[in-house]
Structure 1
Amino acid sequence: MAVENFGIKGLTDEQVVTSRKTHGANSFTYKEKNGFLEALKSILKEPMILILLVASSIYFITGNFGDGIFMVAAIILVGSISLYQDSRSRKALEKLKNLTEPNCKVIRNGVTVEIPSEELVIGDSLIVEEGTMIPADATIVHSNDFSVDEATLTGESLSVFKETSSTNNTIFTGTIVASGLAIATVTAIGNHTQLGKIGNSLDNIEDEKTPLELQIANFVKQMAIWGGITFLLVWGINYFNSHDVLDSLLKALTLAMSILPEEIPVAFTTFMALGAWRLMKLGVVVKQMKTVETLGSATVICTDKTGTLTQNKMSLARLFSIKTGKITSTEAILKNEEKELITVAMWASEPIPFDPMEISLHNAYAKQTNVDERPEYHMIHEYPLGGKPPMMTHLLENESGQRIIAAKGAPEALIQISNLTAEEKKSVYATIEELGKQGFRLLGVGQAVFEGTDFPKLQQDFSFEFKGLVAFYDPPKKNISQVLKDFDTAGINVKLVTGDNSATAVAIAKEIDFIGYDKCMSGDELMQLTDAEFQKKVMDTQVFSRMFPEAKLRIINALKANNEVVAMTGDGVNDGPALKAAHIGIAMGNKGTEIAKQAASLILVDDDLSKMVDAIAMGRKIYTNLKKAIQYIISIHIPIILTVFIPLALRWIYPSIFSPSHVILLELIMGPTCSIIYENEPMEKNTMIKKPRPFTTTFFKFNELTTSIMQGLVITLASLSVYQYAVGQGFGEATTRTMVFMVLIVANIFLTLVNRSFYFSLFTTLKYKNNLVGLIIGITMALAALLLFVPPLTDFFEFNTLSASQLLVSLFAGSISVLWYEAVKWGKRTKAKKN
């Protein structure tokens, strides 16, 4: 019953190379979009680029070639920055896409190996088992109780049973194994599969926009509408005064450019894509972009036990034979009754075991038997894992007609349908309680006798002889207690959801210092409560035992009804519905089935729950930094808009203080700040001791938006005050323009530093490790110096070299217009200390 006994050796390495040369790789090769050209088209449709093109055209038409050339250079620079950001985002997402490509098992050179599905070739001997997605079209050569969900191809929701001897012995790419195991020879790959011919591709599915994306898009749209209205208004006013179409259009375009917050969507895309890439480096693969923004809101994590809290080693540790009535360690010298118990449990396992418990049983049988009978027997019928509580039964026969009928499953399932006396049942239940309290995972084992081939429809209809209990020990992960403490510190409630009985679940929970380990409820108890009763009870219960798919799904829905943001870990087929229903479905990378991975929104590559602590911290950091970036954009856009608009609208002495060239220069200085500096900001030290932010909270909260508007208005006041000061001192237009421009440059630098935290002081944030802060601010200061002291640049932008006193006025006004917020932050910290 091992792989080699099916006579399947698979392809050799040389045959694999030959097949790949002949038939190619197992991948869909539809006509791919050119990422660069698509990004270029998208950039050319951007309002800012269109405005720059119109402005440069006007400059060339009016003979102002210098400004026209500068505008063209600005278009190239803005476009290059956008292309670079788009390239970073696409590369990050491409790496994630490659990581989420599934692996598959094949027999090559007589050995079972795991390979990426793309490396599959025609002729390969493919092994597919319950919960996996089939990666190629193939013909079955061996199967055990094998059924497939072909809804992807046919739309039919019922599973289809398939075997070697039937006419329906072909499996297809993209379908999912519902039960059992099969070995099949690959007949078609990539575009030549049934799915490939139909042309189905996950790439064709459009992702829905997330609430945050919609909020940001709506905000930008509203700003664009207001920009359009103001543009027409200013154009009309200026034309009415000057009757010069092109000059008035140029002034109106200057204002339109200052209003458009085109950095916001770029910042959003960059933060989310690079956030997903950073998570990938931590060992967390994000399948859906929206998960990055949801992570920081998680309030509850529902975690399974095996392989998540424990090491998934499942070593066979104790035996309880009903004949001896004693618990025996597997390290002791075993009696015949205990050897028989192991043998029956092994026969009830899959012939090619993939479950850790079944592997352990096969190893124990091989260790204690003198004659290995597995090659002599073949399976003639199988009842898959089913029922509540669940059990499974195998019927095997050898060439001489000797038959074995073996079953294993939840002890309660076997006890219900066996021939035990009342006294024996009492003894078994006492043993279950004793072993459960020690944290052992238990399986009941039974054997039946049946003549003929008219097998019962249900496995529960056999008359079983109860053989005993096999107990497995799965030690907790070494870091799990600390992980649970970290979740608690972050204000996240952890609930244990397991298929084990209550005694085992509580014992393991107690061993790892699980908060509320004594508050336990079973799946059956859960299902008896009304929705209202359970919605209340779910908040107080921390351990859920003997869970099944419907019960898991009910837990998720009840928590969601209580406005909790729910993360759910899972690895099995039966976890699929709950993973899909949770806000954040978390599949295990190593032991997770393909169904679990498909249903989940992120995958823990190494099955390490501590990575979820890192992921939640990363989610909170990304959200906070994105908020800082957008608040910065709003704050710095307001003074640019008003400094352009007010002198123009109120017809001050120098109405056109800024031209499109000046506005685009400011935009080029601001752009890298929001999407480069803030994206690279480290997590603030109080991030993981805060409670999760409510999921329903809008991105632009009133008090935060008010802060940004106030910051922008104060900077405006400073720049216009310097404007009036310069006019009052009798300075010319070029000097006034230079002083106002320098106020905005200085304010931009200080705003970058002050807004790195809306709580901690500037002196604290200066210690944050972000090398890009010094680089970007250094470039900004160097550019300012060039504009002031390099005559060709000074003349081109119609600036003047400022005197020391003039420069000091600009420096003072620019810095004080931002540093006032440090007093507000000091007030927040003082209030927090008092509380």
Structure 2
Amino acid sequence: MPYQIPGHLKGLTDSEVAASRKQYGYNQLATVRKSSWLSLLIDIVKEPMLILLVVISLIYVIVGDYGEAAFMFAAIVAVSAISFYQDNRSKKALEALEKLNEPLSRVIRDSAVVDIPTHEIAVGDLCITEEGKIINADGRIVHSNDFSVNEASLTGESFSVFKDSRSEDNRVYSGTLTVSGLAVFEVTEVGKETRIGKIGESLLTIKAEPSPLQLQITRFVKTMAIIGIVIFLMVCLFRYYETGDFVASLLNGLTLAMSVLPEEIPVAFTTFMALGAWKLMQQGIIIKRSSIVETLGSTTVICTDKTGTITENSMQLINLYDFRTDKTYDTPSFGNPELSTLISYAMWSSEPAPFDPMEKTLHNVYEQTQPSDLRGDYRMFHEYPLEGKPPMMTHLFADARKNRIVAAKGAPEAILSVSRLSADEKERVRERIKTFAQQGYRILGVAKSLFEGDDFPKKQQDFVFEFLGLTVFYDPPKKGIKEVFQRIYDAGIAVKVITGDNADTTNAIAAQAGIVSDAPPVNGAEIINHSEEELMQLSARTTLFTRMFPEAKLAVVNALKKRGEVVAMLGDGVNDGPALKAAHIGVAMGNKGTEIAKSAAALVITNDDLEKLITGIAAGRRIYANIKKAIQYIISIHIPIILTVSLPLFLGWVFPQIFTPVHVIFLELVMGPTCSIVYENEPMERNAMQRPPRIMTDTFLNGRELMISIVQGLVITAGVLFAYQLTAQAGGSEEKTRTMVFTTLIFANILLSFANRSFYYSIFERFKGRNPLLTGITVGVLAMLFAILYVKPLSRFFDVTSLRASELAICIAVAVVSVLWFEVYKWFRRKRNTLSAHAGQAHDGSRDRL
């Protein structure tokens, strides 16, 4: 029986909405200026690489070298286009996420109830708010049903206030939370005119804190920039001291500065995070902030609810226990007249418009088994919402003749504690409860009371209740949930079940779902009595937390965080809000989640499927691994560029200026897309979800990883300079030497981009993970290289010459040796890991025999 909205509430027509919006605007604060294509372009022009290119171009113009100047201006356009493309992709991805994150609001328009984006609420609209919903505009109540609201966001008072259209204060405010019931309110203020809008406009200027990875990357780029400035000055001074030519010295210095500056890294980071979030969105995982993607891959503990996450949330009523007859009835017997009172009061204690699966089931069973349906005759006039530890709820109904129904249901322990029963009778019922719970069943106690007058008790527990019996539900584990938890365990992630259900039921369902639990369950009441140190130890060894309430959930999450765990908390109710907010990654359910849960969470799973969280964790690991690969590639390939530009100069070799800005910018144009486009598209490695999570405080490159990249760069440098000396010693001209060095470096760059797809698996193994962008860019680079070598105008411009087949073969051979030695290193690493695994198994076997 849905809430009845009075027929006189018609709402605005389309023309009235348009007129209202014209006068009062949209329901949004004056937003921070969104980046237009022009502002994106201005930001790109401010980049250090572009500034260097502009300076070099102007020098070429001043000295009259117009061909070089034209190429530099073309390079400016190319670099800007790549940056613009990447920035625009990131911007569009983030805008799509922002749009999806906007909550919907329910309004009455033209006598129909419709859901609209919150920013489209207009002054004069009739908005509907229900339990668990955030109110999204200021207004005046015109109709309500047992409506109470928490206004802590404005007043700081945590208790809820009951209001209706006749109350002295009949207004509701944007940003407050509906605690119970339903209300229809007429919107009087929207956007910045609301109370919270007037308070909160200054919040728009607050910037989000950068993540640890962002800070590390920023520090790394700044360090490289400082090194670039130092080397630039050294080269300028050294070259000027040797030649006395200021312009040539300046060009030499700027060439080297370009080769040092790792401007690709910040672009790659932003692109990877934004596109990662956008791709997850397409799979039904909505992420509020793109930096959460980075944290996802570090998750070490998943705290999950039981109902609807592990289980199907189908709540089949399979047994009824009638206390009066002391009998248990199964489904075919529900029509037995002896059960009429128990079924009726179980239904009356539910919401009149049920949204909870158990309550929907109770309404259906009532409808199917009762000879006459009295729901249309009775109206709920007083309600005690679900509360207490353990919880219960009580509803009071009356008909036109003032006949009353007082019905209560809740956790069996809560109903037993308020019922008039002897100790023996309570023990008898507890035995029944234990039997049901050990089978994984969900149990509710049902009671009735009589009450005359209107001086209602302050607490529902103060009524005198008669115990009627138990309703027994079975909510089976979801199909395939065992495999899901196995994948979580394989990824080195612990699982904690945090539920409001009792210990026996939780234990049974956890076992059926494949959750490993070696310690006894702990209930919420126990948790509150522990010290911080005790709670940290308890949270580590316990898997099942039962009869949990908001403060207890929050305490467990905080204890796990203090232990250094990276916590993902799954929740869907109003009571989950604090824990969702406190967790590193709050995860709300899109279907059954309340708006307050979705608002508190950093991530929303649209179809309530726990497997989606694994998809998100895998994506986080893939993206983090790919960022590292991109950065290691950039470090490795910058080293030979820097040393090839500087060493011939400092060592006084025969051709000191082997590369000019033209060659360096060409290499930069090759590296940029490889770093930020190709590696972003790199598929996940086979063993990514079989490794333990990374420690979140670790730097993005540890000493060993950084050393590998430096060694890779130095070996490529040795190969390139070997090609230099081989050609020069054989009497090759400056053009021939430059060509050999340039060609070897291009081939080495291509091979490095393939080799660094994995730092564990072989280059051939990674071919199984298709990356069409890498193939496309490789073909494009080779085409450009051969055009430079064999198309005369381009050869003259780049100051290179064509190569014979034997010379090309030398370049390829040198590149292969200087890059693919790394495959031997990877082979030894795999061999060592295999031997370690075998040794570990042998040790375990011998220990078992002992």
TM-score for both structures, normalised by structure 2 = 0.94
Indicate whether 1:20 and 2:21 are aligned: no
Q: How large is the Cα RMSD of the aligned pairs?
A: 2.2
What is the Cα deviation at residue 634 of structure 1? Answer: 0.3
- Per the alignment, do residues 280 and 512 of structure 1 end up closer, same or farther by CA in structure 2, a change over 3 Å counting? same
Question: Is the Cα–Cα contact under 8 Å of residues 348 and 393 in structure 1 kept in the other structure?
Answer: yes
For residues 333 and 347 of structure 1, do their structure 2 counterparts lie closer, same or farther at Cα, with a shift above 3 Å needed?
closer
Structure 2 counterpart SS, 1:510? helix
* Partner residue, 2:843: none
Counterpart position of 1:128:
129
The answer for the alignment partner of 1:677 in structure 2 is: 678
Deviates more, 1:594-603 or 1:390-399: 390-399
CA change 1:637–1:307 in 2 (3 A) is: same
Would you say the 8 A contact 2:407–2:449 is kept in 1?
yes
Query: Structure 1 residue 804: deviation in Å?
Result: 2.8
- Match status 1:48 vs 2:49: yes
Report what 1:559 is aligned to: 560
Show the counterpart of 1:622: 623
Give the Å deviation of 1:265.
Answer: 0.5
Per mean C-alpha deviation after superposition, the further-off stretch among 251-260 and 314-323 is: 314-323
1:648 and 2:645 correspond: no
Confirm or deny that 1:498 pairs with 2:476: no
Partner of 1:222: 223
Deviations 1:519-574 (A, max 9, x none): 32222233333333332233332211111112212222222233222211110111
**How far apart, in 1, do the equivalents of 2:100 and 2:781 lie?**
39
Shift of 1:365: 2.6
Q: 1:519 — aligned with what?
A: 520
Deviations 1:353-380 (A, max 9, x none): 2222222222333333344333333333
Asked if the contact 1:8/1:107 (under 8 Å) is kept, the reply is: no
CA offsets per residue over residues 192-235 of structure 1, 9 Å max, x none? 54445666387544211000000000000011011112212222
The one-letter amino acid paired with 1:757 is S
Displacement after TM superposition at 1:187 (Å)? 4.2
Alignment of 1:31-430 (within 5 A): 32-106=33-107, 114-118=115-119, 120=121, 124-154=125-155, 157-190=158-191, 193-196=194-197, 200=201, 204-430=205-431
Instruction: Identify the residue that residue 6 of structure 2 maps to in structure 1.
Output: 7
| Matched ranges for 1:455-494 at <5 A | 455-494=456-495
Aligned partner letter, 2:231: T
1:547 alignment counterpart: 548
Is 1:517–1:543's contact at 8 Å kept on the other side of the alignment?
no
What is the one-letter code of the residue matched to 1:17? D
In the other structure, the counterpart of 2:816 is: 815
Could you report, residue by residue, the CA deviation over 1:789-834 in whole angstroms, capped at 9, with x for unpaired residues?
A: 0011100111111233332222221221101111101101111121
Q: Distance in 1 between matches of 2:61 and 2:793?
A: 20
Residue in 1 aligned with 2:767? Answer: 766
Aligned equivalents of 1:573, 1:288: Cα separation in 2: 22
Contact persistence 1:300–1:565 (CA under 8 A): yes
Distance in 1 of aligned mates of 2:648 and 2:145: 82
**What is the distance in 1 between the residues matched to 2:122 and 2:444?**
40
| Matched residue, 1:30 | 30
CA contact (8 A) 1:629 1:675 kept: yes
| Range moving further from structure 2, 657-666 or 526-535 | 526-535
Question: What is the 5 A alignment of 1:773-788?
Answer: 773-788=774-789
Separation in 1 of the partners of 2:650 and 2:620? 44
Q: TM-score, normalised by structure 1?
A: 0.95
Judged with a 3 Å threshold, the aligned counterparts in structure 2 of structure 1 residues 230 and 200 are, in CA distance, closer, same or farther, namely same
* Per-residue CA distance 1:399-441 (angstroms, 9 max, x = gap): 3333322222111111112111223212211121122122221
Say which is worse superposed, 362-371 or 549-558, in terms of deviation.
362-371
799-808 vs 716-725, greater mean Cα deviation: 799-808
Range moving further from structure 2, 764-773 or 344-353: 344-353
8 Å CA contact 2:300, 2:565 repeated in 1: yes
Deviations 1:423-482 (A, max 9, x none): 321221112112212222122122222232222222111211122222222222112111
Distance 1:638-1:333 versus aligned 2 partners, 3 A rule = closer
Cα distance in 2 for partners of 1:511, 1:3 equals 38
Cα gap change, 1:354/1:127 in structure 2, threshold over 3 Å: closer, same or farther?
farther
Note if contact 2:27-2:122 (Cα within 8 Å) is conserved in structure 1.
no
1:59·1:65 contact (CA, 8 Å) conserved in 2? yes
Letter in 1 for 2:19: T
Distance 1:115 1:339, change over 3 A: farther
3-state DSSP class of the match of 1:762? coil
Q: What are the Cα deviations for residues 75-96 of structure 1, in whole angstroms up to 9, with x where unaligned?
A: 1110111010001111111111
Query: Does the 8 Å contact 1:397/1:403 carry over to 2?
Result: yes
1:17-66 per-residue CA deviation (whole Å, 9 max, x = no partner) reads 33433334854273643432222221121111111111111111111111
Aligned residues: 832
Q: Which runs of 5+ in 1 are unaligned?
A: none
Which one-letter code corresponds to 2:299 in the other structure? Answer: A
- For 1:27 and 1:124, the matched residues in 2 are separated by 11
Tell me if the contact between 2:123 and 2:187 (Cα under 8 Å) persists in the aligned partners.
yes
Give the secondary structure class of the aligned counterpart of 2:402. coil
Of 574-583 and 658-667, more deviation after overlay is shown by: 574-583
Distance 1:116 1:325, change over 3 A: farther
Cross-structure match for 1:752: 753
* Equivalent residue letter for 2:432: T
Cα pair 2:30 2:201 within 8 Å, conserved: no
Structure 1 residue 487, shift from structure 2 partner: 1.0
**Structure 1 contact 9–107 (Cα < 8 Å) conserved:** no
Aligned-pair distance for 1:511? 2.1
Match of 2:67, as an amino acid? G
Secondary structure of 1:306 counterpart? coil
1-structure distance, mates of 2:369, 2:107:
30
